[in-house]
Structure 1
Amino acid sequence: MIRKKSRREESLDHAELARLLPAPGDPQLSLDRHLLLEEHLMNEIQCTAPAPAPAASRRPRRALLIGVPVTAAALAGVFAFTMLTGSRGATTAATPPPVEAPVVRIEPGSTAQLASTVQRIAAAALARKTPEPGPGQYIYIKSEVSYLSVSHTDTNPSKAMVQPVHIRESWRSPDGRKGWLDEPGYQPKGGVTLDSDVTRDSYNETKTLPTDPAALLKKIYARTNDESDRDQQAFTAIGDIVIEQLVPAGTSAALYRAAAKIPGVVVVDHAKDAAGRDGIALARVDQQSGERTEWIFDRKTYAYLGSRGVQVKQFEDIKPGTVIQRTAVLQRAVVDAEKQRPGEQGAV
Structure 2
Amino acid sequence: MDDLRLLQQAGREIPLATPDQLAPARDRLLAAMTTTPATPTTIRREARRGWRFVFGGVAAAGVAAAIVSVLVLAPDRVGGDLPAARADASQVLRNAAAAALRLPDATPRPDQFIYTRTQEGKETRESWLSVDGTRDGLVRTASADGGSNSVLPGCRDGRAAVVKGDQVLPGRTEPCTLEPGYRSDLPTDAAAMGAYLTENRSGEPGSVNSAGKDVYYFAGAYLRPRTRAALYEAAATVPGLRAVENVTDGAGRPGIGIAWPSTGRSGEMILVFEPESYAFLGVSGASAVLDLAVVDKVGQTG
Shorter-normalised TM range: 0.5 to 0.7
Counterparts of residues 316-327 of structure 1 (less than 5 Å): 323=285, 326-327=286-287
State which of 226, 246, 251 in structure 2 corresponds to 1:250. Answer: 226
State which of 96, 117, 124 in structure 1 corresponds to 2:92. Answer: 117
Q: Does structure 2 retain, via aligned residues, the 8 Å contact 1:140–1:334?
A: yes
1:171 and 2:128 aligned:
yes
1:283 and 2:241 aligned:
no
Structure 1: unaligned runs, 5 residues or longer: 1-53, 63-109, 147-164, 309-322, 343-348
Please report how far the alpha carbon of residue 284 of structure 1 lies from its aligned counterpart in structure 2 after TM superposition: 0.2
Cα distance in 1, alignment partners of residues 271 and 132 from structure 2: 25
Cα distance in 1, alignment partners of residues 203 and 93 from structure 2: 28
Alignment TM-score, normalising by the size of structure 1: 0.52
Cα distance in 1, alignment partners of residues 283 and 208 from structure 2: 19
State which of 292, 297, 307 in structure 1 corresponds to 2:283. Answer: 307
- Which structure's CA Rg is the greater one? 1
Structure 2: unaligned runs, 5 residues or longer: 1-46, 56-84, 156-175
Cα distance in 2, alignment partners of residues 235 and 283 from structure 1: 9
Cα distance in 1, alignment partners of residues 113 and 145 from structure 2: 20
Per the alignment, residue 103 of structure 1 pairs with none
Per the alignment, residue 289 of structure 2 pairs with 329
Ranked by relative contact order (alpha carbons within 8 Å, sequence separation 6 or more), the top structure is: 2
Percent of residue pairs identical: 30
Cα distance in 2, alignment partners of residues 231 and 299 from structure 1: 23
Please report how far the alpha carbon of residue 208 of structure 1 lies from its aligned counterpart in structure 2 after TM superposition: 2.1
1:224 and 2:201 aligned:
yes
Please report how far the alpha carbon of residue 111 of structure 1 lies from its aligned counterpart in structure 2 after TM superposition: 11
Report the AA paired with residue 302 of structure 1: Y
Report the AA paired with residue 98 of structure 2: A
Cα distance in 1, alignment partners of residues 253 and 120 from structure 2: 13
Per the alignment, residue 182 of structure 1 pairs with 140
Please report how far the alpha carbon of residue 216 of structure 1 lies from its aligned counterpart in structure 2 after TM superposition: 0.9
SS class of match (1:55): coil
Cα distance in 1, alignment partners of residues 177 and 145 from structure 2: 21
Q: 1:202/1:137 Cα in 2 relative to 1: closer, same or farther (>3 Å)?
A: closer
Q: Does structure 1 retain, via aligned residues, the 8 Å contact 2:208–2:260?
A: no
SS class of match (1:144): strand
Report the AA paired with residue 168 of structure 1: R
Q: 1:328/1:260 Cα in 2 relative to 1: closer, same or farther (>3 Å)?
A: same
Cα distance in 2, alignment partners of residues 252 and 260 from structure 1: 12
Per the alignment, residue 43 of structure 2 pairs with none
Report the AA paired with residue 117 of structure 1: V
Question: How many residue pairs are counted as aligned between the two chains?
Answer: 206
Kindly report the root-mean-square deviation, in angstroms, between the aligned alpha carbons of the 2 structures.
3.1
1:141 and 2:110 aligned:
no
1:310-335 deviation line (CA, Å, top 9, x unaligned):
xxxxxxxxxxxxx5xx2111111111
1:47-100 deviation line (CA, Å, top 9, x unaligned):
xxxxxxx633441689xxxxxxxxxxxxxxxxxxxxxxxxxxxxxxxxxxxxxx
